[in-house]
Amino acid sequence: MTEPVVVAVKSAAPYDVTIGRGLLDELVAAAVADPRTTKAALVHAPTLAQTADAVREALLEAGIDTHLLEVPDAEDGKKLEVLGFCWDVFGEIGLDRRDLVIGLGGGSVTDLAGFAAATWMRGVRLINVPTTLLAMVDAAVGGKTGINTGAGKNMVGSFYEPSAVIVDLATLESLPPNELVAGLAEVVKCGFIADPQILTIIESDRARATDPTTPELAELVRRAVTVKAEVVAADLRESDLREILNYGHTLAHAIEKREKFRWRHGAAVSVGMVFAAELARAAGRLDDATADRHLEVLHALGLPTTYDPDALGELVKIMGSDKKTRSGMLRFVVLDGLAKPGRLAGPDPSLLAAAYSVVAGRRRTPGLVQL
């Protein structure tokens, strides 16, 4: 990819996701797009301190007084006290309604910065600059913002869309390989729910699909962002269709909560997708080949596909507070075939147990030989 590629999110307040390499100029252009903006609060993870400095310099040159807010890393940043810290700094620097918040980092930072922007003076302009694969293809796009609470993952937040998303693929070159692979879980998710070509690209050459410098990875990013953009443009507030982006997340969020948010989100989603596929297979809704393909592709990428064999009871309890639950009835996004997402409501405990026996590693699926 030489020229940046733009994926338009055609929601009520449309915005562009610009994907390329070395996009500082595009970021500055997005920032100055509103000529009333004189100040920016740049929220970033500690690992992005150097990049944050470079962005600040460029914005200062463009006449935007830019303040850096370094927040705790990963899920430690998605906390009420950190949100409070952001609000305090916004107040101290006099950030007003014409100004700008920039989220620079992984999904934990874009979720936090997005919610801080959504709530400050009831909403100030937001630009997301995702620097992990997961944030590029998922967290930074689509307007879900929020923090975790004692009750669980992302329990407080809002739907608040950015005015621009700048995806600089060059930032992936410093990302630890395990983080890149974790991000691929959400890419694989898009493959199963909507765009099977994603799976073919990964299966054809796993090494190139996991190399941040290749056109294959750039194409995976473009395809996954396109899936997300189309879904959120049709159903921003998750009244129905958007739930498909939650494929694998019912179990994933329960695992994350049980693990006190120390698991990588993408790793939990990987296990959650295996569970959802097995649930659909056990319910007679998903063919063996597609169910087996989950284990094969996720395992080949080095993502986890199993979890504590004795945790099902606890996980079912935690899943009770999943946001898709209705009148106390658990609801899962499942597949009725490749790229045919449906819903499974109130599964019988025997179905949950059958599906979990694969996650627990107690039952191997017939099609799978390499595990």
Ligand X SMILES: O=C(O)C(=O)C[C@@H](O)[C@H](O)[C@H](O)COP(=O)(O)O
Ligand Y SMILES: NC(=O)c1ccc[n+]([C@@H]2O[C@H](COP(=O)([O-])OP(=O)(O)OC[C@H]3O[C@@H](n4cnc5c(N)ncnc54)[C@H](O)[C@@H]3O)[C@@H](O)[C@H]2O)c1
Binding positions: 73-78, 131-132, 144, 153, 186, 249, 265
264 is catalytic: no
Question: Which among 190-198, 238-246, 305-313, 347-355 is the span making contact with ligand X, rule CB under 6 A?
Answer: 238-246
**Could you say whether residue 217 binds ligand Y (CB under 6 A)?**
no
| Number of amino acids touching ligand Y (CB under 6 A) | 30
Token output for 299: 């395992």
Question: Which among 42-50, 97-105, 212-220, 241-249 is the span making contact with ligand X, rule CB under 6 A?
Answer: 241-249
Token output for 159: 């739907």
**Could you say whether residue 182 binds ligand Y (CB under 6 A)?**
yes
Catalytic residue (one of 154, 189, 246, 296): 246
Q: CA of 62: how far to CAs of 32, 263, 345, 347, in Å?
A: 8, 40, 53, 56
- Write the DSSP assignment of 313-356 as a string of letters: HHHHHHHTT-TT-BTTB-EEEEESSTT-EEEEES--HHHHHHHH
Token output for 77: 């940043």
Comparing CB distances to ligand X, the nearer of 98 and 324 is 324
Token output for 363: 């039952």
Question: Which among 31-39, 243-251, 296-304, 338-346 is the span making contact with ligand X, rule CB under 6 A?
Answer: 243-251
Tell the smallest beta-carbon distance from residue 47 to ligand Y (Å): 4
- Write the DSSP assignment of 239-282 as a string of letters: SSGGGGGGTTHHHHHHHHHHTTT-S-HHHHHHHHHHHHHHHHHH
**Partner from ligand Y, ligand X, none contacting 323, C-beta within 5 to 8 A by type:** ligand X
Q: Which of residues 257-316 bind ligand Y (CB under 6 A)?
A: 265-266
The three-point CA angle 134-52-216 to 5° equals 35
Tell the smallest beta-carbon distance from residue 107 to ligand X (Å): 7
Phi, psi for 294 (deg, rounded to 5): -55, -55
**Could you say whether residue 138 binds ligand X (CB under 6 A)?**
yes
Comparing CB distances to ligand X, the nearer of 153 and 281 is 153
* Torsion region of 361: left, alpha or beta (phi above 0 gives left; psi -120 to 50 gives alpha): left
**Partner from ligand X, ligand Y, none contacting 242, C-beta within 5 to 8 A by type:** ligand X
Catalytic residue (one of 257, 264, 265, 281): 265
- Write the DSSP assignment of 25-68 as a string of letters: HHHHHHHHTSTT--EEEEEE-GGGHHHHHHHHHHHHHTT-EEEE
3 is catalytic: no
299 is catalytic: no
CA atoms within 13 A on the CB side of 18: 20
**Could you say whether residue 107 binds ligand Y (CB under 6 A)?**
yes
Pairing state of beta strands 341-345 and 65-70? unpaired
Residue ranges at the known binding site for Zn(2+):
186, 249, 265
44 is catalytic: no
Rg (CA), the chain: 20
**Could you say whether residue 195 binds ligand Y (CB under 6 A)?**
no
Instruction: Name the maximum alpha-carbon separation found in the chain.
Output: 63
**Could you say whether residue 245 binds ligand X (CB under 6 A)?**
yes
Footprint of ligand X (CB under 6 A): 138, 142, 144, 153-154, 186, 238, 242, 245-246, 249, 323
User: Which residues carry out catalysis?
Assistant: 122, 144, 186, 228, 238, 242, 246, 249, 253, 265
Footprint of ligand Y (CB under 6 A): 45, 47-48, 73-75, 78, 105-109, 111, 131-132, 134-135, 138-139, 142, 144, 154, 171, 174-175, 179, 182, 186, 265-266
